[in-house]
């Protein structure tokens, strides 16, 4: 896997219908069995091998968490524009939601 040198499709970022189509395609392709992978990383190849070992499931989890990070940034922008159009948990990590729920249940 190589996140840095992946093929990019800029129309996904600028055309809503293209983005929706791509998301639907990904949804049908993402469910796979776990397997070992090598993730390409930009490093000083003298000191490091240029990759790290990972797994398919680990990368799916990373992408889900990274998506939450982006949603959090969107939430900040929406707040700055005084647009109250997302739920309380939008852009909040699952662990944070669980922590908040545990505090409510303690009360």
- Give the chain's mean pLDDT: 91
Model confidence band, residue 44 (pLDDT cutoffs 50, 70, 90): low
Asked whether residue 3 carries a pLDDT value surpassing 90, the answer given is no
Say what the pLDDT of residue 34 is: 97
Give 65-107 pLDDT, tens digit per residue.
999 999 999 999 999 999 999 999 999 999 999 999 998 888 7
**Inter-residue contact 65 to 76 (CB < 8 Å):** no
pTM for this entry: 0.74
Per-residue CA distances from 4 to 1, 21, 40, 51, 86 (Å): 9, 23, 8, 12, 31
């Amino acid at each position: 896997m190589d996140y840095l040198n992946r093929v990019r499709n800029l129309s996904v970022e600028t055309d809503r219908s293209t983005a929706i189509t791509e998301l639907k395609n990904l949804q049908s392709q993402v469910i796979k069995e776990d397997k070992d992978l090598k993730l390409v990383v930009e490093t000083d190849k003298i000191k490091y091998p240029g990759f790290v070992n990972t797994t398919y499931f680990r990368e799916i989890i990373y992408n889900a968490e990274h998506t939450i990070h982006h949603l959090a940034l969107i939430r900040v922008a929406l707040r700055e524009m005084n647009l109250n159009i997302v739920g309380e948990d939008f852009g909040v990590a699952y662990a944070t939601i669980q922590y908040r729920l545990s505090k409510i249940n303690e009360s």
